[in-house]
Amino acid sequence: MQPAFNTFSEFIQMGGAHAPFVWSAWGISVLCLLLLVWHARATRQQFFREESARQRRLQAQSQQAQGQQQQESSS
């Protein structure tokens, strides 16, 4: 079996006409994958920030309700 390209340079050039289409497709695919990873990480961080704020808010409301109950029971 003969390899399609004898050198790495020939592989990169791909006979001239095909190279721009092939390498642009590879580039766009890699860019899309990188954007997907970036978006997933950003969304995850946003979720944890919002969840942390929600937990703090719920804890503050719970403490406020307990304080009101203690005031009512001591009066």
* Among the ranges given (7-11, 32-36, 61-65, 68-72), the one the predictor scored with the smallest mean pLDDT: 68-72
The residue among 66 and 25 whose pLDDT is bigger is: 25
Q: What is the pLDDT of residues 7-60, one digit of tens each?
A: 888 888 887 888 889 999 999 999 999 999 999 999 999 999 999 999 999 999
What's the pLDDT band for 3 if we cut at 50, 70, 90? confident
Q: How are the residues of the chain apportioned to helix, strand and coil, as percentages rounded to the nearest 5?
A: 85, 0, 15
